[in-house]
Structure 1
């Protein structure tokens, strides 16, 4: 069983409160997701994030194939972090931690995504040329959109590893 990890950090020139207000609103996820992915929230995003919240999406990650994705917000600590976990969707495991911390001149966001692909060895074979690059592309887009919305601070760091 291969477990992959994607880790990113990005600094934004905004207050911790402004970053939290934007990122803890599930409705804003559509804004920072590439349009070609056909991201659409079906339900559960009417309120700011809270533990136990179930959010349903439709997303089209590859080749126009629509996929239903259901996540649960499992942990929330105001102004510090929240965690979403896939309950149903394209991954065998998806555990996404979002951390925020105040830094001089703004805020640093850190994302740590631990994920496992379905289909055993076949999933592992497509990771280097399909899944890994697609996730990088999605997080690159998010970085660009956040810079457009809030301004540029410093570039972020991203890496994908295997555990």
Structure 2
């Protein structure tokens, strides 16, 4: 059975130059600063100050019911300073593909996140998505939006 693919798309403009946005987002160590505390986000692997294609990043999060969970992503594409893609290799989703796009729009940088994801466990996973996961992802991206405004105006 082909899994149901969900999509999240978020666009945000920050009043900073493209190079400043890229410098912040290309550093995996900054991800914790824009992730809600309740996820208990913790990078477990050593990471460089700027990502590159093939970089494997190991995290630990507390996703459902506060249970600790490993999440491993690979940075699969990087075209500085315009976009990068991370893909889950191991973790809570059956499929996770996250595109991060950056574009100079004169008054700042337009950032677009496009996430395609699928739940594991068939019908059970779809039920958990409807009851919990969709709302949690909305909360995570809303937090990120607010935090970026705090950090960059």
**TM-score range with shorter-chain normalisation?**
over 0.9
**RMSD, aligned α-carbons:** 0.8
In structure 1, the gaps of 5 or more residues are: 152-163
Matched residue, 1:87: 89
Matched residue, 1:154: none
> Normalised by the size of structure 2, how large is the TM-score?
0.96
Matched residue, 2:71: 69
Matched residue, 1:22: 24
Match of 2:34 among 6, 10, 32: 32
Matched residue, 1:138: 140
Distance in structure 2 (CA, Å) of the matches to 1:83 and 1:44:
19
Distance in structure 2 (CA, Å) of the matches to 1:79 and 1:47:
14
Deviation at 1:74, TM superposition (A): 0.2
Q: What does the per-residue CA deviation read over 1:78-108, in whole Å, with 9 as the maximum and x for residues that have no partner?
A: 0100000000000000000000000021000
Distance in structure 2 (CA, Å) of the matches to 1:129 and 1:12:
32
Q: What does the per-residue CA deviation read over 1:104-152, in whole Å, with 9 as the maximum and x for residues that have no partner?
A: 210000000000000001111221221111000000000011000000x
User: Structure with the greater relative contact order (CA < 8 A, sep ≥ 6): 1 or 2?
Assistant: 1
In structure 2, the gaps of 5 or more residues are: none
Matched residue, 1:159: none
Distance in structure 2 (CA, Å) of the matches to 1:63 and 1:72:
26
**Any conservation in 1 of the 2:26–2:49 contact (CA below 8 Å)?**
no
* Aligned-partner SS, 1:132: helix
**Any conservation in 1 of the 2:97–2:116 contact (CA below 8 Å)?**
yes
Matched residue, 1:78: 80
Q: Count residues in correspondence.
A: 151
Query: Is structure 2 residue 113 aligned with structure 1 residue 111?
Result: yes
* Aligned-partner SS, 1:52: coil
Structure 1 stretches (4+) deviating beyond 2 angstroms?
none
**Any conservation in 1 of the 2:58–2:72 contact (CA below 8 Å)?**
yes
